[in-house]
Structure 1
Amino acid sequence: MRRQRASETVERIVSAGSELVHEGPVWDWRGVTFQAVAERAGVNERTVYRHFPNERELRDAVMQRLQKEAGIPTLEGMKLEEIAEITERTLAYVSTFPSGEPMPQDATQAEADKRRREALLNALVPVTAGWSETDRATAAAMFDVLWGIGAYERLVKIWGLDPAEATRGVTWVMRLVETAVRQGRGPGD
């Protein structure tokens, strides 16, 4: 009986954390605190601490819940042919979260982004005759994402690639996308 109550309490705590995550942009976990989770779960803050000794363990449990909600299996043993499907499920799930406020940009950066977007779209026009505007914009956006500083920084900081390796990886994928576009294979193919 005692174990069952403890299990039910943990379930309420993790569910409360999941609800809190669902209320904000998917990348913003600042609202998942012991106090907020305790209030949402209807338990004392000490109860949360009893089951999760630190915020990291609480957030890990909530992350596992989110992955389960998204239908994402454990990633251990993932096969190459599963990557696209798991990505599709993940992004479909992420799209159910509020989008949040766009990151503020200064006028110089906003103008540079606008010029890059226009240049990418214009570069695709001659080789994408017959494509929908959405497919053309999606292909251009893929180049933009790869070109973006965020992708580069992720490769260097998270993956530990040196700058030359990161650049080589980005341009490799860009060439793969370019080849697909030249062969008439769009995002929907």
Structure 2
Amino acid sequence: MRPPAKVQKKKKAAEPAAPKRQYDSPLRRQQTAETRERILAAGAEIAHHLPAWDWREMTFKAVGQRAGISERTVHRYFATERALRDAILQRLVQESGMPLEHLELRDFAGLTAHLYRYLSSFPPSSQEGVDPGLAALDVQRRRMLLSAVARSSKGWSEAEQEMAAAMLDLFWTPTYFERLGTAWQLDAGRATRAITWVIGLVEQAIKDGKRP
């Protein structure tokens, strides 16, 4: 004799449910990490071909194409292009080998040399679009500096004189003065004092015959 329908339903409800699929498995975590690594590696490759750190071409689409994945997949790992660029920048910092903590002053010169060797792997800034008048003024300024250094560094090679003049030229660059105000919050007086202090050190080194 068959049991009533209600009894059948109760038995069926009492049966254990099938185990749910484990989405957070070790394999899935490994695949997630590998995909993220592909994205960052692709972004770093793109950065090495962008002149003057102009990252306007560092987009979800460009990174996805370089990594061989969809733009949507990149977006799934990084909510915004700012987040993507920040992560790629941290990857480049790791590549450069530059420590961001526990810097000792005695190590600064060597670390700077290491950083410049790394930066030389990036393409130089393009001079296209520079105003002809500004370009001519820049040439005139460099000639004047070279002449001034040459008069105070008898016996130096042209290469040594050029390096010394180039260092002095840095302090005539508005970008460096602006950074003292934006990054270091120095007012115009302190920024000028700091710059003239370093210029004085370079000037004295030239007078003392301390070649670069």
After TM superposition, the score normalised by the length of structure 2 is: 0.82
Work out the CA distance in 2 between the residues paired with 1:141 and 1:100. Answer: 17
> Residues 155 and 103 of structure 1: is their aligned pair in 2 closer, same or farther, counting only changes over 3 Å?
farther
Q: Which amino acid is the alignment partner of residue 6 of structure 1?
A: T
What pairs with 1:140-179 in structure 2 (closer than 5 Å)?
140-179=165-204
1:119 to 139, 144, 151: 144
Does residue 7 (structure 1) correspond to residue 33 (structure 2)? The answer is yes
Measured after TM superposition, the shift of residue 185 of structure 1 is: 1.0
What pairs with 1:1-189 in structure 2 (closer than 5 Å)?
1-73=27-99, 75-102=100-127, 104-187=129-212
In 2, are the aligned partners of 1:147 and 1:170 still within 8 Å (CA)?
no
Measured after TM superposition, the shift of residue 107 of structure 1 is: 3.5
Identity %: 47
For structure 1, which runs of at least 5 residues remain unmatched after alignment? none
> Which structure 1 residue ranges, 4+ long, deviate > 2 Å from structure 2?
103-112
Q: Which amino acid is the alignment partner of residue 125 of structure 1?
A: A
Q: How many residues are matched?
A: 186
Measured after TM superposition, the shift of residue 149 of structure 1 is: 1.4
CA displacement 1:87-142 (0-9 Å, x = unmatched): 21111111111113116333332232222211111111122122111110111011
For structure 2, which runs of at least 5 residues remain unmatched after alignment? 1-26
Q: Which amino acid is the alignment partner of residue 166 of structure 1?
A: A
Larger Rg: 2
Q: Which amino acid is the alignment partner of residue 109 of structure 2?
A: A
Work out the CA distance in 2 between the residues paired with 1:89 and 1:56. Answer: 27
CA displacement 1:2-36 (0-9 Å, x = unmatched): 11100100010000000111112141111211111
After TM superposition, the score normalised by the length of structure 1 is: 0.91
Bigger relative contact order (CA 8 A; separation at least 6): 1
CA displacement 1:28-51 (0-9 Å, x = unmatched): 111211111111111122221222
**Partner-residue secondary structure (3-state), 1:30:** helix
Work out the CA distance in 1 between the residues paired with 2:31 and 2:47. Answer: 24
**Partner-residue secondary structure (3-state), 1:147:** coil
Work out the CA distance in 2 between the residues paired with 1:56 and 1:100. Answer: 23
Work out the CA distance in 1 between the residues paired with 2:133 and 2:109. Answer: 35
